[in-house]
Amino acid sequence: MKIGFIGLGNMGAPMAKNLVAAGHDVIGFDVAGVTVDGVEPAGRAVDAVKSAEAVVTMLPNGAILRSVYEEIVPAAVEGAVLIDCSTVDVESARAAHKLAADTKKLSVDAPVSGGIGGAAAGTLTFMAGGQDDAFLMAKPLFDVMGQKTVHCGKAGAGQAAKICNNMILGISMIGVCESFALADKLELDRQKLFDVVSTSSGSCWSVNTYCPAPGVGPASPADNDYKPGFAAELMLKDLLLSQQAAENVDAATPMGALASALYQAFVDGGGRGKDFSAMLPHLMNAGHKQ
């Protein structure tokens, strides 16, 4: 396929590279002038889409997504599928779908899970929202860039799934970090705690796969001085999106609200640029003040 790719940052660049490696003809644009080996550079966003059968966007937020779609949707060919892989608010995702539908273009909101490593390895998980025909047209590209795709439902459903999943992740990581910090105070060996929790009712991904305690469990960012696999500020972004969505639909998410406040304090207090699991040393330093 001829593919336009807009947003060649830390996630977009390796995703575009994998499409090229699979034999697709990719034309890319990034506002910062980033270029990627094998991707033909475009001078403007519209130049990347005007003859593309599929357009992939990976952008920072909903306001930028709306702005880019207002620019590129009229330039895209009729029948093209527009695939937005950004993580944005549900309302912006639905607005992007409407812009596409109004000009007879197919569209999918498809945020990802798996981080930079998953983007490079082609092992991302895509959570897709949109009509069946749009999803089926986009699915072969998801199969190149990732290892799993779930069609979550109508327009905006992909974003809804992403923020609900990451609200669980943010809440659970705080609980795990609190437990390890408490274990330290109680003079309970961290490895013993892991051995119990990882095979008991407290078992979860934040313990078994991504343990925030260095030297415990499988290798994780905690073993690399908390250099980010998933940065704390990105977790904060997703938690804030969850709270925006909850407010819009009057949903009770008290734990999500508290997790948002805790990650806001962590990021503001020096956590920016660290992995979100560095909540553990943050809590240990804070003591009972939290």
Question: What residues are annotated to the active site?
Answer: 162
Tell me how far apart the alpha carbons of residues 96 and 87 are, in angstroms, rounded to a whole number: 13
DSSP class of residue 231 equals B
Q: Tell me which residue of 237, 259, 256 sits closest to 247, measured CA to CA.
A: 256
DSSP class of residue 50 equals T
Q: What's the Cα-to-Cα distance from 41 to each of 44, 69, 178, rounded to whole Å? A: 9, 19, 47
Q: Tell me which residue of 119, 159, 134 sits closest to 21, measured CA to CA.
A: 119
Amino acid identity, residue 132?
A: D
Q: Tell me which residue of 58, 59, 53 sits closest to 25, measured CA to CA.
A: 53
Give the 3-state secondary structure of 191-207.
HHHHHHHCCCCCCCHHH
